[in-house]
Amino acid sequence: MLGWLVLLSVTAPVFGGAISVQASLADHKPFAGAVVTVQGAAAHAPSAPMSAIVDQINLAFVPDLIVIPVGSTVEFPNSDSVSHQIYSFSPTKRFQLPLYHGKPYPPVHFDQAGIVTLGCNIHDKMLGYIYVTDAAYFGRTDASGAWVANNVPRGAYHVSIWHPLLRESAASLERDVTVGAEDSTKVEMQLTQPLRPAPLQTNARSRNQY
């Protein structure tokens, strides 16, 4: 009898772990609304660009802080009954939308990573932020100060958090972690100093909770 040797080619599955971040304020209360970014030591495909909206309601940006991948666009409708003139002098993205209300302008394209500070030439109290990132994983902590990235491939990663009211140095809010197969890697970050007072006081309905 003639025997046959059968070779089977099996691709091993790529298992992913999770990175869990828990952020706390100096008084041990949850740090809600902090921006979290996770950069891989090895090359990872960047997140796909997205379309976002920052509205203007009750003389405030809504939301007043968003996180978007590089290459994304943001639309700036004006839902107020008064006109606004939006601008950014930030090196990451300089632009200006002359006096308008409603929805007259096309979305603005954000093509490089960095922090963009928004203002209004008519209403000095309006202030907002756009965090543009090239990180593979990103988000903001929830009301309990938690954020999780699932299905993260095995490897080394750099985790950092940011917020416009931080007093801390950037280095104190960064961690290097290693993710194993199907592991959950927990990162705890606690501020040593209280947040700076918010520079503006606006209607609670129109602002995100930090």
Q: Do 17-43+140-194 and 47-134 come out as alike in CATH topology?
A: yes
CATH number belonging to the domain at 47-134, selected among 1.10.10.10, 2.40.50.100, 3.40.50.410, 2.60.40.420: 2.60.40.420
C-beta atoms surrounding 205 within 10 Å: 9
Lowest mean pLDDT among 54-58, 70-74, 198-202: 198-202
pLDDT value at position 44? Answer: 72
Beta-bridge mates of residue 131:
67, 115
What dihedral do alpha carbons 162, 168, 170, 175 form, nearest 10°?
Answer: -80
pLDDT for the residue numbered 200 = 54
Helix extents (H) in 11-144: none
Domain boundaries, the chain: 17-43+140-194, 47-134
∠ CA 200-202-208 to the nearest 5 degrees? 95
**If DSSP codes are grouped into helix, strand and coil, which group holds residue 48?**
coil
Look at 112 and 104; give whichever has higher pLDDT.
112
Distance from C-alpha of 4 to C-alpha of 41, rounded to nearest angstrom? 45
Can you name the residues that pair with 129 across neighbouring β-strands? Answer: 65, 117
Amino acid in position 180: G
The burial class, CB within 10 Å (0-12 / 13-18 / 19+), for 75 is: middle
Cβ atoms of 187 and 159 closer than 8 Å? yes
- With a pLDDT cut of 70, the percent of the chain lying above it is 87
- Which residues make Cβ contacts (< 8 Å) with residue 51, sequence separation at least 6? 72, 73, 74, 75, 107
Task: Give mean pLDDT, residues 190-206.
Answer: 71
Q: Model confidence over 33-49: pLDDT tens digits?
A: 999 999 997 767 778 99
pLDDT of residue 8: 36
Average predicted confidence (pLDDT) for the chain: 87
Does 2 score more than 90 pLDDT? Answer: no
Assess whether pLDDT exceeds 60 at residue 10. no
Question: 17-43+140-194: what CATH class?
Answer: mainly beta
Q: What is the pLDDT of residues 134-175, one digit of tens each?
A: 999 999 999 999 999 999 999 999 999 999 999 998 888 999
